[in-house]
Structure 1
Amino acid sequence: MTLKQAFEDQAGHCVGMGSPFMGQLMNVLARDWPTDSGLGRKFASVTGDVGPMGASLPLRIAGGLHALVLNRKSPELAKVYPPNSVSDAELSEAVLKALSAHEAFLLEWTDHAPQTNEVRRSAALIAGARVAAKHFNLPIHLSELGASGGLNLMWDHFALEIDGHHLGPNMSTILLSPDWTGPLPPSVQPQIEKRRGVDLNPLDPTRPDHLMRLMAYLWPDQPNRLSLTRSAASVLDVKVQQGDAIDWLAKQLPKQPQGCLHLIQHTVAWQYFPQGAQARGKALIEAAGKRATANRPLAWLSMENDGENNKGAALTLRLWPGDITLNLGRADFHGRWIDWQHTG
């Protein structure tokens, strides 16, 4: 995939996920990308997949541009960003000027892979955890792989609303209301006793600079995502550890005490682990599952791309002892909708 193709491909994904502005921006960059510049030469030197499943160069530069707007470093660029609506020509002129004027900042920014912490994915985690808690009515030790800033480790502080049914804390200021099809999840309320997470590049959303980085990768014409991220950061009480997810997991699995359910979760993260790491992680979890008991059970909850991109992510829950696999349904990658298929 060429860089131009990556921009065009990303444009289609963005429009399909409800961001016409990002679609417009990606198409402008596909047409007018400054190849004869420091950024142009840097991107041209990248080998391998530059698209969404690889280096994700289009989202790197989009995040950098949004950061310039959020941190008020480019008032001229802010004038062509939402809520304003401008022509392709006006957007292109402002973007090219920003790419040139802030090249040093953007060169450094694009050294790092895109990093989001999509809070709306917690709707799927809330529902899946309720299924696990129904099977094993025990306090939960929660572990998240690829936890980013740790916001989705806080899902027990969020409320889920489905067709007038309120699930979760009544006083929560964070309300998730995806378009829901299918039956309601179980009514049992999971109780988290301990939470922990790991990420190669963890961010601390209580720090303004780290919160800004997370928000820069949220799409500018989707203000609800921005406000949810701010709200989730306000209740954060966990610090994500830095490290390789699978190495970290290998150390955590033997630590589970009796009388607790160890729930491992990850959302749109597993696909970015190297294949060898995926195989090792799966083997580690399955081996721990074989050692699980009714008083020391294990659950593995995932929301991941299974290749059916146009159908969202697959929601899967595995439970031990017994090695039970439950296909819970599917969810939009940003948590806008959930097709819940579990009836137990």
Structure 2
Amino acid sequence: MSTQATEPTASIYRDYARRWFPGHSELYVQWATGLASSQELLALVSALPEPKRQPNLVFAAARFHGCPDEPFGTMEGYLAAHWPAVRAIIMTHATQTNEAARCATLLPALAMVADQERRPLALIEVGPSAGLCLLPDLYSYSYDGAAPLGDGSPLLRCTTTGNPPIPRQLPEIAWRAGVDLNPLDGTDPDTVAWLRALVWPGQDERLERLDAALSTLAALKAGALQASAGAPLLLSGDLNERIADLVDAAPKHAVPVVMHSAVLAYLDEAQRARFADTVAALGCRWISNESFFMDAANQTRAGTDTNYFTLALDRVPLARTGQHGAELHWL
């Protein structure tokens, strides 16, 4: 494959090495930089369908197969030697990162809805992966080093600016459900291994949070952990096809809250507009945490800083949030 043909892939990897991986995973900086300069690997990756070429998916698949977290030369040789098997993982898996820490940035918006509605919440997440963000009442939180709110595990730490409305108590959750093209069973060993492989090398605290959240999910599903709402109901399907049914299925004494983080970016403009129209007609509340938000005219409005998500409630921006839940900058 010619250099001209592989240049778009090389550009993607250089961009990740320059923009997304620094400060989060120095090994991935090295891997992405190296792959962008390896014509052999660029040819392999460029032959994948375009949505499957993303660095975090390719690297996670390599690690899931057994590639050690070692310098680029090791990874280069591993991919060359095991490409058919790694490619099969890439083709059958997706970057369904399930970051429970995002609950720390979602919690103030959830508490706002609970205060306004004076009713328990029925959480309905689109793109929930294994459903870890549907358990906000089962974790504990520390904002700016303050004493923890709640007594669950993991403890989610978040720094703030702008005086966000940090709740004094966790909202009551009456029901939890979600729809995903490929919902994951967070108690299945292979699924757990894949979720762990999606955590970037060097992010030890993030991996510990994932393990703790998966343990909480397992305890809830096994009945060893009691909560007002049981384990999440996760359905397979397209969000635009199934969201109305889920809202309708929510307990009538609870206020349905549709929420999502880093999901709508995978939809095109028409699909996003359809989703916004549907949610607006359902009589529910809507919390989005994306790199953009949908305004009143269903137009995609980008945030002012692409390194952050925009947290919005019913289309109104509330805050800029760290992508992995560690920062909350109230507007």
Give the structure-1-normalised TM-score.
Answer: 0.81
Q: Determine which of 73, 79, 96 is the counterpart of 1:93.
A: 73
Q: Which residue of 1 aligns with 2:285?
A: 299
**Structure 1 residues 253-292: aligned runs within 5 Å:** 253-289=247-283
Q: Which residue of 1 aligns with 2:47?
A: 45
- 1:154 Cα offset (Å): 0.8
CA deviations 1:297-317 (Å, max 9, x no partner) are x21011001233435010001
- 1:257 Cα offset (Å): 4.2
Take 2:290 and 2:148, find their aligned partners in 1: how far apart are those partners? 24
**Structure 1 residues 1-344: aligned runs within 5 Å:** 2-35=8-41, 40-41=43-44, 43-46=45-48, 50=50, 54-68=51-65, 73-74=66-67, 77-78=68-69, 80=70, 91-111=71-91, 112-166=93-147, 168-170=149-151, 172-183=152-163, 184-236=165-217, 237-289=231-283, 298-306=284-292, 307-308=302-303, 309-318=305-314, 325-341=315-331
Take 2:10 and 2:193, find their aligned partners in 1: how far apart are those partners? 28
CA contact (8 A) 1:159 1:166 kept: no
Stretches (4+) displaced over 4 A: none
Q: Secondary structure at the match of 2:177?
A: strand
Q: Which residue of 1 aligns with 2:296?
A: none
Per mean C-alpha deviation after superposition, the further-off stretch among 262-271 and 104-113 is 104-113
CA deviations 1:119-140 (Å, max 9, x no partner) are 2111112121011111111011
User: Where does structure 1 lack aligned partners over 5 or more consecutive residues?
Assistant: 81-90, 290-297, 319-324
Residues 1:335 and 1:16: Cα distance change in structure 2 (over 3 Å):
farther
Q: Secondary structure at the match of 2:28?
A: helix
Residues 1:166 and 1:143: Cα distance change in structure 2 (over 3 Å):
farther
Residues 1:196 and 1:168: Cα distance change in structure 2 (over 3 Å):
farther
Q: Secondary structure at the match of 1:252?
A: helix
Give the structure-2-normalised TM-score.
Answer: 0.84
- 1:210 Cα offset (Å): 0.1
Letter in 1 for 2:60: G
- 1:188 Cα offset (Å): 4.6
Q: Secondary structure at the match of 2:122?
A: strand
What fraction of aligned residue pairs are identical, expressed as a percent?
27
- 1:264 Cα offset (Å): 0.8
Letter in 2 for 1:13: R
CA contact (8 A) 1:14 1:20 kept: no
Q: Secondary structure at the match of 2:21?
A: helix
CA deviations 1:80-99 (Å, max 9, x no partner) are 2xxxxxxxxxx232112211
CA contact (8 A) 1:34 1:96 kept: no
Take 1:166 and 1:246, find their aligned partners in 2: how far apart are those partners? 40
Alignment RMSD, CA only?
2.1
Take 1:179 and 1:271, find their aligned partners in 2: how far apart are those partners? 25
- 1:179 Cα offset (Å): 2.0
Q: Which residue of 2 aligns with 1:293?
A: none
